[in-house]
Amino acid sequence: MLIGIVGTGAIGSLLATQAALAGLNCVVIPRRERNNTNGHIALSRSDLAAQSFTLPIATNNQLSRLDVVIVPTKAYQVEQAICDINAHLRPHTAIVLLHNGIGPHEVVQQLCPDNPIVGATTSYAALKTSAQTVTMTGSGQTDAGWLANPQLTIQDKLLQMLNSLLPPCNWHQDVLWIMLKKLSVNAVINPLTALNNVKNGALCDAHYSQSIQHLCEQTSNVFNALGYPVSTAALQGYVTEVAQLTANNYSSMHQDLAHKRRTEIDFINGFIVREAKRHRMAVPDHQKLVTAIHRQESHYR
Ligand code: KPL
């Protein structure tokens, strides 16, 4: 099974080193200058006594032979990443999308109408400490399932692959629900920690409970309209659980703002705002967070 991994961000580099450790047949597809000669990329893992790995950079020929391509980029980078390689992909190559938020699979479906598309989320965490060094900062679990064109003959192979890379991995009949649940947590923790410059655990303070309740209530209304009946209390419970489990972490959105990078707000709270509009519902607290994050981004974009 030939696996392509797009980009060498934190999760991309983690996946590439995990693939090398597991002896999987894997090529790296850098997002910017893609080397069409037979180049290689060197990566080292600082959590594994600086163990180093050399991985091949995909040639066009290898791109056309991929069985699966994993896209572990930021949500807003997915479309360009797929456009860059689409001319070489065959229609049976499975595309695994692994990002925060919801939305990019719709454009991927338009660009690659016949390819099987998998949605995945993971609670693994990684940090790039230099261009060629990555460290796994947290292990966890991975959840995956079909988003489009399910291809049952390769499902077991994909699950086995994800279990080698980010174990344990569970396969879900309705992965959209898993993604919505994760989105409901990210829609609270990410913008609140980013705007208040605090670690995730700070949100357990009573000071935030009313804002969290309002956000979860509006998320619950939208999810109910989408056909996923879930209570405000259940969503609050997920948020509290993740805030406690990751108390010492800074959320990805906090890190994005701190490093003056674009955030994934448009695919997290922005998704809730768009769905609310489609169903003629009001989500004023999510809208306020989108506006406030955009305002912060406008200072450097
Ligand atoms: O997914 C996360 C993120 O930061 O993007 C959480 C779960 C909030 C952990 O920090």
The amino acid at residue 41 is: I
Q: Is 182 a catalytic residue?
A: yes
When pLDDT is averaged across residues 244-268 and rounded to a whole number, the result is: 96
CA of 152 to the centre of ligand 1 (A): 31
The pTM for the full model equals: 0.95
Q: Do 152 and 262 share a structural domain?
A: no
Q: Do 145 and 256 share a structural domain?
A: no
Q: For residue range 31-48, what is the model confidence (pLDDT) as tens digits?
A: 876 554 458 999 999 999
> Across the chain, what does the average pLDDT equal?
96
Task: Indicate the residue among 141, 173, 205 that finishes a domain.
Answer: 173
**Domain at 265, CATH number:** 1.10.1040.10
Q: Do 84 and 43 share a structural domain?
A: yes
pLDDT at 143 over 70: yes
Q: Is 122 in the pocket of ligand 1 (CB under 6 A)?
A: no
Q: Is 200 in the pocket of ligand 1 (CB under 6 A)?
A: yes
Containing domain of residue 200, as a range?
A: 177-298
pLDDT over 90 percentage in the chain: 94
CA of 92 to the centre of ligand 1 (A): 32
Check residue 36 and give its pLDDT: 46
Q: Do 75 and 192 share a structural domain?
A: no
Task: Indicate the residue among 173, 190, 212 that finishes a domain.
Answer: 173
Check residue 44 and give its pLDDT: 93
Task: Indicate the residue among 152, 173, 194 that finishes a domain.
Answer: 173
Q: For residue range 85-115, what is the model confidence (pLDDT) as tens digits?
A: 999 999 999 999 999 999 999 999 999 999 9
Check residue 32 and give its pLDDT: 75
Q: Do 188 and 162 share a structural domain?
A: no
pLDDT at 12 over 90: yes
Check residue 13 and give its pLDDT: 97
When pLDDT is averaged across residues 234-242 and rounded to a whole number, the result is: 98
Q: Do 150 and 257 share a structural domain?
A: no
Q: Is 100 in the pocket of ligand 1 (CB under 6 A)?
A: yes
Q: Do 262 and 181 share a structural domain?
A: yes
Q: For residue range 54-84, what is the model confidence (pLDDT) as tens digits?
A: 999 999 999 999 999 999 999 999 999 999 9
pLDDT at 296 over 80: yes
Q: Do 130 and 196 share a structural domain?
A: no
Name which residue sits closest to atom 2 of ligand 1, judged by CA: 251
Check residue 18 and give its pLDDT: 97
Please count the structural domains in the chain. Answer: 2
Q: Do 182 and 85 share a structural domain?
A: no
Q: Which of 182, 199, 260, 288 is catalytic?
A: 182
Q: For residue range 155-192, what is the model confidence (pLDDT) as tens digits?
A: 999 999 999 999 999 999 999 999 999 999 999 999 99
**Domain at 153, CATH number:** 3.40.50.720
Check residue 34 and give its pLDDT: 58
Check residue 58 and give its pLDDT: 96
Check residue 209 and give its pLDDT: 98
Which of ligand 1's atoms lies nearest the C-alpha of 100?
5
Check if the beta carbon of residue 274 is closer than 8 Å to that of residue 266. Answer: no
Check residue 301 and give its pLDDT: 83
Q: Do 159 and 270 share a structural domain?
A: no
The Cα 288–Cα 286 span in angstroms is 5
